[in-house]
Structure 1
Amino acid sequence: MALALVAGGCSQDEYVAPPPGTTSDVADPAAAADTLRDLQAAIRAGDGAAAAALGADPRAHDLLSAVAVNAAALELSDVTLRYVTETGRTSGGDAWDGQVAITWRIPGLDRASARAELPVSFADHGTSISAIGGTGARLPLWLSAPLTVERQGQVVVAVAGHGAAARGYLAAALRAVAEVRAVVPGPGGLVVEVPADAEGLQRALDTEPGQYSAIAAITAPVDGSQAPGSPVHVFLNRTVYDDLDPVAAQVVMTHEAVHALTEAVGARQAPLWLVEGFADYVALRDVGLPLTRTAGQIAAQVRQQGVPERLPGDGEFDPTASHLGAVYEAAWLVCVTLAEHAGEGALVDVYEQVRDGGDLAGALRQHAGWSEQDLTAAWQDRLAGLPAVAG
């Protein structure tokens, strides 16, 4: 199943820059600033050749050319690059590492610019660049490798590498948007980023190795910030996603689209059973799968351990936790139970009110005429009545 967790740094609210390094006799901040200014101009112009000319070696030529081409394909705006400080020496007598502040935005899809600081390795006394990114630092996908970009209407898919796979991701994303808007009307588009592999996903989100190894997709701010308006995209873990059957893959894509299109990532006060359960409610709404598949894991758990005493807690949604599938199925059934009692419209109203900071108890009373205890009891009855449990 998919998981909507924000991959942040030390603070969820702001980036804290590292302390400045000691300026060496090699570093030339003025030259580095000029080089970044030239790279910024090349990126804004989509000029791969001009960007490549700033590379220190063939590998850097290829990367910088790809960065400019990626930016053009994504139609990026608000691209800025600013030298911040030296962070250390690298190999070579005229090379050093620096920290660079960068902004970028996909116009029409991102409400505000993403902001990040990332390592850049300078060479030739700062007149060229040998590498972008480093260990333990977030590396935006468009700055990491050549991309294949597919776009239709308000949906953009960016895939590391070349090939026809991007078209399949685009089709799933387009269907996901339609399925979400059938339940929750509203404007807005969707951006899906697909790193080449699990390591690429780790770099794009700056996470610990293996943190999302079993997760098919994540919805997260592209720069790790939870500041209002920070761009939120869907990231696919193609190692898992590509092995799913078509129905399961579409469920994952739609689930994540719910998070992105309804701004669920910023819903800090909403319980995860509501955030995740609602996303699965929308994703499974028109699929027509039997309960043996959509609730098989929670049914097996109920058979072994009995009906849970309470609704799923936030800690149970840890991506590394055991029985994660059962937790998601349980959350989905909470939302199904609520919709069966008060109607789909009431479920949407409860979701939106709580997502926007409203009190869960008040939302349940207002839209469903239930207390949380009433909901819990009805959900427990629903679990006990599952065919694999009651039978």
Structure 2
Amino acid sequence: MAGLSLFVVAAVVVALVQGGRHDVEPATVDVPRASPRDAAEALASLVDGVGSRDADALASLAPAGNAVVGEQLAGIAGTAAALDLRAVSARYVDQVGTVASDGSWSGTVDLTWRVARLDAAPARAEVVVTFVPDDGRLAVAGFSAGGAARVPLWLRGRLAVATAPGVLVMVDGTGRQAEAEAEAVLRRVERGIDVVRRVLPQRIDPVVVEVPASAGDLDETLGVRPGTYAGIAAVTAPVGKAAEGPVHVFVNPDLTAGLRRAGAQVVMSHELVHIATDAVRRPVEPWLLEGFADYVALRDAQLPDRVTLGRAIEAARRDGVPSSLPSRDDFDTRARDLQARYEEAWLACRVLAERLGEPRLVAAYEGASRGVPLDRALRQAGLSTAELTALWRAELRRLVG
């Protein structure tokens, strides 16, 4: 059976018979075992197919008769071309679980890739690949997440891709609807860059946005527990596990699909603030991190407080005005009243800007992002944490009425 190593078990059957012990001749039992060598060969063929953008070669890696997997693998060729994927490698690491009765098995694979001209360094992640013995060879039957593993969006097959100078958007899906979604997201990014530059004139690094097909797929793309980002409209995060790797914006389509145009734009502008300030790699207190991003995104939105602060007002009426600014735990993606905490953080930044002026809010954020202790950064801007908290609580009490 190709793709499996066979090892021999000498099964000694002992029978008890009248008059004493009787040993039966050993029987040979063939037990299938995963073959790292064959897996490495299949992965080498996968990498070659991606590098050459050869749809037929990639489709041939699927199990015979499995049109779904064949189409998925063939679609990777077009996606690799559209993204101009470079530095693609796949190294077999270890077996996951046991070999199934049909000989199929899974293995962890160390994968690297880079979106040319936009990613400064390759991304690196672990992916679980399923292998199946198929007519004298080892076929690739699919990709999955689990543990620390993830499924990069480009491995899902053909994607809709839209580009502009310095910007790339990839959406899981094909056809006019997916293409229209990619173009719509691209326009949001372009408008969002203008929004951010009104407050932060520095150059925004190249922007790559990934839109999986669902919230569940978003979790798999990021390698997190199911449901982690079910309540998050978008997140700016590293593409893989390497600290020096690229950072992309990931969109939750299950939430953004229900937003009005203005809401979807605020979500994108918020994430672009994180890109512009390299927030993923800088130690900023969560309330300032998220509140500042919302301040920039909402600065010119001209929305009433009942819209931008509705959840915070509701929570304060129910539980009372909080005694302190939101904590790190308050921003856990599964936390109760998460949206209210975001709104409270935004209100704190708005209060600071109204009291001291926008330049000092920016200075406080930049100081904190350089590692200056938060209270010192606020004092340098003109308010202590205690003073800001008192002003913030008073404003929230006024809004509650």
SS at match of 1:361: helix
Matched, 1:362 2:376: yes
Determine the structure 1 residue equivalent to 2:53.
Answer: 46
SS at match of 1:330: helix
Determine the structure 2 residue equivalent to 1:239.
Answer: 254
Please report how far the alpha carbon of residue 304 of structure 1 lies from its aligned counterpart in structure 2 after TM superposition: 4.2
Do the aligned partners of residues 44 and 182 (structure 1) sit closer, same or farther apart at CA in structure 2, a change above 3 Å counting? farther
Q: Deviations over 1:290-330 (max 9, x none)?
A: 11211222223334444322111111122222222221111
Aligned mates of 1:181, 1:257 — CA distance in 2: 10
SS at match of 2:38: helix
SS at match of 2:336: coil
Please report how far the alpha carbon of residue 252 of structure 1 lies from its aligned counterpart in structure 2 after TM superposition: 0.9
Q: Which of 283, 301, 308 in structure 1 is aligned with 2:315?
A: 301
Q: Which of 303, 308, 329 in structure 1 is aligned with 2:343?
A: 329
Aligned mates of 2:189, 2:41 — CA distance in 1: 40
Structure 1 stretches of 5 or more lacking a match?
Answer: 1-21
Please report how far the alpha carbon of residue 25 of structure 1 lies from its aligned counterpart in structure 2 after TM superposition: 5.0
Do the aligned partners of residues 307 and 28 (structure 1) sit closer, same or farther apart at CA in structure 2, a change above 3 Å counting? closer
Q: Deviations over 1:80-132 (max 9, x none)?
A: 11122333313534x43222211011133222211112121223365421222
Matched, 1:128 2:144: no
Q: Which of 332, 346, 367 in structure 1 is aligned with 2:360?
A: 346
SS at match of 1:104: strand
Aligned mates of 2:250, 2:261 — CA distance in 1: 18
Q: Deviations over 1:25-74 (max 9, x none)?
A: 54333332222222212111222122112222322221211122211111
Determine the structure 2 residue equivalent to 1:177.
Answer: 193
In the alignment, is the contact (CA less than 8 A) between 1:316 and 1:327 conserved in 2? yes
RMSD over equivalenced CA pairs, Å = 2.1
Matches within 5 A, 1:41-80: 41-56=48-63, 57-80=66-89
Matched, 1:266 2:273: no
Matched letter for residue 281 of structure 1: Y
Larger RCO (CA under 8 A, 6+ residues apart): 1
Matches within 5 A, 1:363-378: 363-366=377-380, 368-378=381-391
SS at match of 1:248: helix
Matched, 1:107 2:120: no
In the alignment, is the contact (CA less than 8 A) between 2:205 and 2:275 conserved in 1? no
Aligned mates of 2:190, 2:163 — CA distance in 1: 10
Please report how far the alpha carbon of residue 151 of structure 1 lies from its aligned counterpart in structure 2 after TM superposition: 0.8
Do the aligned partners of residues 48 and 303 (structure 1) sit closer, same or farther apart at CA in structure 2, a change above 3 Å counting? same
Please report how far the alpha carbon of residue 182 of structure 1 lies from its aligned counterpart in structure 2 after TM superposition: 2.4
Aligned mates of 1:306, 1:313 — CA distance in 2: 16
| TM-score (structure 1 length as normaliser) | 0.86
Please report how far the alpha carbon of residue 152 of structure 1 lies from its aligned counterpart in structure 2 after TM superposition: 0.9
Of Structure 1 and Structure 2, which has the larger fraction of its residues in strand? 2
Matched letter for residue 60 of structure 1: V
Q: Which of 127, 140, 144 in structure 2 is aligned with 1:118?
A: 127
Matched letter for residue 95 of structure 2: E
Aligned mates of 1:385, 1:321 — CA distance in 2: 26
Q: Which of 180, 183, 207 in structure 1 is aligned with 2:224?
A: 207
Determine the structure 1 residue equivalent to 2:264.
Answer: 249
Matched, 1:219 2:236: yes
- Between the two proteins, the alignment pairs up a number of residues equal to 362
Matches within 5 A, 1:117-156: 117-122=126-131, 123-124=133-134, 126-136=137-147, 137-156=149-168
Q: Which has the larger radius of gyration?
A: 2
In the alignment, is the contact (CA less than 8 A) between 2:146 and 2:223 conserved in 1? no
Higher mean alpha-carbon deviation, 356-365 vs 26-35, is at: 26-35
In the alignment, is the contact (CA less than 8 A) between 2:74 and 2:157 conserved in 1? no
Matched letter for residue 139 of structure 1: V
Please report how far the alpha carbon of residue 336 of structure 1 lies from its aligned counterpart in structure 2 after TM superposition: 0.8
Identity %: 43
Matched letter for residue 158 of structure 2: P
Aligned mates of 1:255, 1:240 — CA distance in 2: 15
Higher mean alpha-carbon deviation, 253-262 vs 325-334, is at: 253-262
In the alignment, is the contact (CA less than 8 A) between 1:147 and 1:160 conserved in 2? yes
Matched letter for residue 241 of structure 1: T
Aligned mates of 2:145, 2:390 — CA distance in 1: 51
Do the aligned partners of residues 307 and 26 (structure 1) sit closer, same or farther apart at CA in structure 2, a change above 3 Å counting? closer
Determine the structure 2 residue equivalent to 1:29.
Answer: 36
Q: Where do 4+ consecutive residues of structure 1 move more than 6 Å?
A: none
In the alignment, is the contact (CA less than 8 A) between 1:48 and 1:65 conserved in 2? yes
Determine the structure 2 residue equivalent to 1:380.
Answer: 393
Aligned mates of 1:297, 1:275 — CA distance in 2: 19
Do the aligned partners of residues 219 and 41 (structure 1) sit closer, same or farther apart at CA in structure 2, a change above 3 Å counting? same
Matched letter for residue 381 of structure 1: A
In the alignment, is the contact (CA less than 8 A) between 1:51 and 1:68 conserved in 2? yes
